[in-house]
Structure 1
Amino acid sequence: MQGGFPIDLILFAMVAAFLVLRLRSVLGRRTGFERPTEGRPAAGYPPRVVEGEPVTAAPEAPRYALPDPRGPVGQALERLRGVDPGFDPQAFLGGAEGAFRMIVEGFARGDRTVLRDLLSEETWAGFEQALNAREAAGQTQRTEIRAISQVAIESAELRGTVADVTVRFVSDQVNMTLNADGSPASGTDAVTELTDLWTFQRDLRSGDPTWKLAGTRSA
């Protein structure tokens, strides 16, 4: 209307301001799986998390399951928060899902840089031994994570200021080890549902916010 006040421009400005503030609040969050960068970080590391889920998440988002806060695992998580008030189980699971993808895919590629940053010393030694044996045999690994249907905290323990949190991952994967001539050495090209229990560890008083993978087993 001629001479009228431009209400539509004010509304657009309000919406734009809201979106800017929203993006700043989301992208500025840390998950605990990040670590301070020194120089240029490796490609794809660390996994950035938006609202508890990595930006690289599969189209079918995993279900993050938290234990009953009144149960023993929930009470253990409360003890972790007592040492580190910034510990957020939902954000932790988002970072754990990102780390799971990076470690599984990094092992398949033989990416030692990514693995060393995310594994404890003892776990890294086991992974390196497996990588050396695979390379010595002239074999390669083909791994595809098709979907992750569940990411859940299985258990938690606090020893002094050192925390161990075990996460259950249920995923659909394709895993094959190939010989130098391309023939299959093990595994299958069929999609298989796998259940893994991974234990992440961190000193909650440490200046390094990275949770390291300290143990793995199948369920």
Structure 2
Amino acid sequence: MGSFDFVTFFFFVAAVIIFIQLRSVLGKRTGHERPPQDQIARREQAEAPEGLDDPKVVTLPRRGRENQEPDMFAAVDAYAEPGTELNKGLREVVTADPSFDPKEFVGGASMAYEMIVSAYAEGDRKTLKSLLSREVFDGFVAAIEERESKGETVRSNFVGIEKASIIQAEMKGTEANITLRIISQLISATLDKDGEVIEGDLVEVTDVNDVWTFARDTRSRDPNWRLIATEADQ
């Protein structure tokens, strides 16, 4: 029994010594320990596909994802059939001005058309000056002054635009030229100094077919287009 007790006591003392030594080693910080997050990151890297975080590996862009460069002519091809002269002309404009969108341009030109027609009827030179080229502005003002000199007035009611579409586009140097065919409905009459109708009608709606050309220097910071030519579409 005495021998058994001594052996038991010996192993007990040995276990205590080993525990103390392990604790002295394991409890010390050497300054080279990795934080828990670092250990987690190492484990995630080990589980990730090989080469994903390797700086020497180049990740190729995925098709159909955000890394794919958008087609700058998509809006043009959606508006005009590829291969046509109109499509080619619009592509030239987009090349010079990547922000150009045919559909948005038609919307803006339609609003400008209504403003110009109304301003001309009212003799609003200020509005016309901001929307017309110098040459067209001078022509409009000359017509306004002529009717004013005769005491004539214009009564006009813009009903709306039935259709507006681009029929030609081209670059002339750095200047983009866009021509539209515009079909609008208008109630318009010219009255003499006595208030008698001498042209048009005060109640009848008339279809008006116009071909207007707008232009803008693509190098300019001014985003506005100006009307440079007008003609009646027969």
Q: TM-score, normalised by structure 1?
A: 0.68
Which of 154, 157, 169 is 2:167 aligned to? Answer: 154
Q: Mapping of 1:171-182 within 5 angstroms? A: 171-182=184-195
Q: Which has the higher contact order (CA 8 A, sep 6+)?
A: 1
Deviations 1:24-70 (A, max 9, x none): xxxxxxxxxxxxxxxxxxxxxxxxxxxxxxxxxxxxxxxxx943233
Which of 174, 193, 203 is 2:207 aligned to? Answer: 193
Q: Mapping of 1:31-180 within 5 angstroms? A: 66-180=79-193
Contact kept? 1:66, 1:152, Cα under 8 Å: no
Distance 1:140 1:75 in 2: 44
Distance 2:196 2:88 in 1: 50
Going from structure 1 to structure 2, the CA distance change for 1:66 and 1:196 (only over 3 Å counts) comes to farther
Tell me by how many angstroms 1:74 deviates: 1.1
Q: Partner of 2:181: helix, strand, or coil?
A: strand
Tell me by how many angstroms 1:131 deviates: 0.6
Q: What's the RMSD between the two structures over aligned residues?
A: 1.3
Equivalent residue, structure 2, for 1:202: 216
Larger relative strand fraction: 1
Tell me by how many angstroms 1:160 deviates: 1.3
Q: Partner of 1:132: helix, strand, or coil?
A: helix
Deviations 1:126-174 (A, max 9, x none): 0010010011011111111212110100111111111110011111111
Paired residue type of 2:149: A
Which segments of 5 or more consecutive residues in structure 1 lack a partner in the other structure? Answer: 1-64
Larger relative helix fraction: 2
Distance 1:85 1:121 in 2: 27
Which segments of 5 or more consecutive residues in structure 2 lack a partner in the other structure? Answer: 1-77
Paired residue type of 1:76: G
Paired residue type of 2:220: S
Contact kept? 1:198, 1:216, Cα under 8 Å: yes
Q: Partner of 2:151: helix, strand, or coil?
A: coil
Tell me by how many angstroms 1:186 deviates: 1.1
Contact kept? 1:73, 1:156, Cα under 8 Å: yes
Distance 2:112 2:79 in 1: 18
Paired residue type of 2:215: Q
Which of 193, 211, 217 is 2:225 aligned to? Answer: 211
Number of aligned pairs? 155
